[in-house]
Structure 1
Amino acid sequence: MAKIDAFFKLMNEQGASDLHLISGQPPALRLRGDLERVKYKVLENDELKAMLYEIAPEDKVKVFEETGDVDFGYEIPGLARYRANFFMQKWGCAAVFREIPSDILTADQLGLPPVLRKLAMLPRGLVLVTGPTGSGKSTTMAAILDLANKNRKDHILTVEDPVEFVHKSQGCIVNHREIGSHTKSFGAALKGALRQDPDIILVGEMRDLETIALAVEAASTGHLVFGTLHTSSAAKTVDRIIEVFPSSEQDQIRSTLADGIRAVVAQNLFKKKPKGRCCAQEILIATAAVRNLIRENKTYQIGSAIQTGKKYGMQLLDDHIQEMLDKGWLYPEEAYQKSIEKARFVPYLKEAPDVLD
């Protein structure tokens, strides 16, 4: 057993989402969104480096020493998988680990609404799950893929950096490809994917022009493509995709995206009273009216389209936050901080909000 595994077991026992190991500081766990120090000595650089290198593949150690950054996946059988990031900082090496449960939470366990379950059975198109880091995007995506895996007879291909949730082939054949280990880049993997007879493609993160362009192309050529972005609302997600292209190509991509997009789910995680976490989601379904807004460069009207599209399962993020706040699940301060239209939640605060909010 690697020396560092003791921290992972503690992390699992405490229900922490992340583990921070930093030279010059004691370890810390993220519990229900807050960082809590572990009662342990200050980690020295050489000691921490030895612990980290014990679990890192040789090629990843080489990349880390050359660049000062590296990502990879680490697994403790029977416990969990971890997304690892090593980086250099002022006092030496450091690492952050995100726990990825071995068991995939189902749509029922997450309480996904019926409209999101239907996304697993779409024949083609682009489905985006967005939100800040730590908002549960991967968990939601895994649950939708799990439904597809159980109910379809297709080929699911995931491209991730690193591989997070591992799906065992059930009704579908599932192949996982990891950037750096199995393929050079997202772009290279997506170019290859079109020759690998996939029905469903998961793109772990749509972070650059090439990846976004290839994902949109795959969705428009008969594949069902799932992807994630770090955006806070459905409208901003559409804008982000379009704005990454040169201005001379934006009219064309609006048309292509309008034809291919099927849904956008923008979400955030909250502390739930008295304990636990809960997820608020904005849901945009690409109706004919929504496609026209994208095509005509009227994304500022998407919020109104969501409000009038409740019969299709659409909902605004702030409406879902309001619903959970009214049920007594949320702390008003966090509801205010993570909302889009903050003025709506000011009356729930005990004190006037800081001007910097």
Structure 2
Amino acid sequence: MQRAQLDHLIGQVLDFAPETSDIFFVAGKPLQAEVHGVLQDIPTEPVLGALKPFQTEAAALAMMGSNARLYQDMVARGSCDLSYELLGRARFRVNVFSQRGSMSIVLRQLSMEVPSPKKLGLPRIFDEMAHEKFGLILVTGATGSGKSTSLAALIDSINSSYPVHILTLEDPVEYVHPHKMGTVNQREMGQDFDTFASGLRAALRQAPKVILVGEIRDHETIEIALQAAETGHLVLGTLHTADTGQTVNRIIGMFDPSEEYLIRQRLAESLKFVVSQRLPQKRGGGRVAAFEVLRNNLRIKEVIQNGETAEKKFYNIVEEGDAYGMITFDQYLADLFAEGKVTEETAMIYASDKSNIMKRIDRIKTERGEQVTDIDGLEIDSSYGNS
């Protein structure tokens, strides 16, 4: 398959479903697009029907081109990551992987413009993050939860506000940042550096004030990230964790038990914010972002240093930390429910503590004068005790 043929196919997908988030090339299925979380088959011209293994392989080879690193990754790991652009129209983050003897492709559509925090509706605490000068800021969540988009918006805020050198390490580069007040260098893994750890180590010699690490995957990367944060750099990074408290515990768990005391002290001093994200279904269609925000203060610092106890948990401190801009997923989802943006069922599915969110929703429904139980016909037995 030629690049022009592949571009034509992808163009047809975007014509048919302009709000496509992901495109799928899978042997045995027609070309498919995911729109608001639902897969749908895409009619093509010429008609392709169910894709054959040789067709998905041809599409993969057209995307991978002559990049030797991608073929090495396929052989060593069974998958590879790359970026792909439909010139002037769309950009994609692509994963090519093998399954049952054939190749499959998933393309995640990226915005052509770097979004602003205001446009994304990010919590106001992101404005404060943009003014930080050093330390560690982490954005976490599952794959596809919008971590890269939120960090791109944060980088754009810094780029628009301060004349500083910003260096990004990405796999692959997702949003292209133009130079504004800041100077931005974007490096892609496989082309410009081989691992996040080595790229981050080199970054310390490239005089950045802000460093974005696309993903913190291992002990070595978080060790260098902490070193950078301790030496006056603002380090932004992502992890695949479910919530803010789990993020702190995951980082500590990357180190040997013999290093635990020291890493707790270092993390307590360097960590500024942890933001976790989820993307629940929006009432009426589409998605809406839900956030949990942890901000380092004296109470958080104490729990990082000494560990959680029955009385002192990250969740409880975040829940009580609204004065510091902190909020739990359950509080955020309850607010979305109150605003009519998500249904009660959706809020329950994406909540961290089901009993907590249920109490919050019942309180909202009571304030609205709505029924909070399905039990009908209850009345006081006035004769009880009179017999």
Which stretch of structure 1 is more off in the superposition, 298-307 or 264-273?
298-307
Aligned residue among 350, 363, 367 for 1:338: 350
Pair 1:317 & 2:329 matched: yes
Query: What is the distance in 1 between the residues matched to 2:244 and 2:58?
Result: 44
Contact in 2 for aligned 1:72/1:84 (Cα 8 Å): yes
Query: What is the distance in 1 between the residues matched to 2:222 and 2:283?
Result: 38
**CA positional deviation for 1:275:** 2.8
Unaligned runs of 5+ in 1: 353-357
**CA positional deviation for 1:46:** 1.2
Pair 1:118 & 2:120 matched: no
Aligned residue among 302, 307, 328 for 2:319: 307
**CA positional deviation for 1:5:** 2.0
**Paired letter, 1:50:** A
Q: CA RMSD in A?
A: 2.1
**How many residues in Structure 1 have an aligned counterpart in Structure 2?**
352
- What's 1:30 paired with? 34
Residues 228-239 of structure 1 aligned to structure 2 (within 5 Å): 228-239=238-249
Structure 1 residues 242 and 10: CA distance shift in structure 2, 3 A: farther
Query: What is the distance in 1 between the residues matched to 2:13 and 2:338?
Result: 32
- What's 2:339 paired with? 327
Pair 1:17 & 2:21 matched: yes
Structure 1 vs Structure 2: percent identity of aligned residues? Answer: 35
Contact in 2 for aligned 1:132/1:268 (Cα 8 Å): yes
Structure 1 residues 114 and 71: CA distance shift in structure 2, 3 A: same
- Other structure's SS at 2:175 match: coil
**CA positional deviation for 1:161:** 0.9
Which stretch of structure 1 is more off in the superposition, 338-347 or 184-193?
338-347
- What's 1:355 paired with? none
Query: What is the distance in 2 between the residues matched to 1:11 and 1:257?
Result: 46
Unaligned runs of 5+ in 2: 363-371, 375-387
**CA positional deviation for 1:339:** 1.0
- Other structure's SS at 2:133 match: coil
Residues 80-116 of structure 1: per-residue CA shift (max 9 Å, x gap)? 2211111111151111111111111111111223211
Residues 216-268 of structure 1: per-residue CA shift (max 9 Å, x gap)? 21111110000001111110000000001111111111110000000000111
Contact in 2 for aligned 1:104/1:165 (Cα 8 Å): yes
**CA positional deviation for 1:62:** 2.5
Contact in 2 for aligned 1:17/1:99 (Cα 8 Å): yes
Query: What is the distance in 1 between the residues matched to 2:91 and 2:203?
Result: 25
**CA positional deviation for 1:61:** 5.0
What's the TM-score once normalised by structure 2's chain length? Answer: 0.86
**Paired letter, 1:304:** N
Aligned residue among 161, 166, 175 for 2:185: 175
What's the TM-score once normalised by structure 1's chain length? Answer: 0.93
- What's 2:65 paired with? 57
**CA positional deviation for 1:198:** 0.6
Structure 1 residues 11 and 246: CA distance shift in structure 2, 3 A: farther
Residues 309-345 of structure 1: per-residue CA shift (max 9 Å, x gap)? 1111111111000110122111333222211012345
Query: What is the distance in 2 between the residues matched to 1:202 and 1:126?
Result: 10
Residues 116-155 of structure 1 aligned to structure 2 (within 5 Å): 116-155=126-165
Residues 272-322 of structure 1: per-residue CA shift (max 9 Å, x gap)? 122332111001111122112101112761112112211111111110001
Pair 1:74 & 2:78 matched: no
- Other structure's SS at 1:278 match: coil
Structure 1 residues 276 and 130: CA distance shift in structure 2, 3 A: same
Residues 30-50 of structure 1: per-residue CA shift (max 9 Å, x gap)? 211222233451111112211
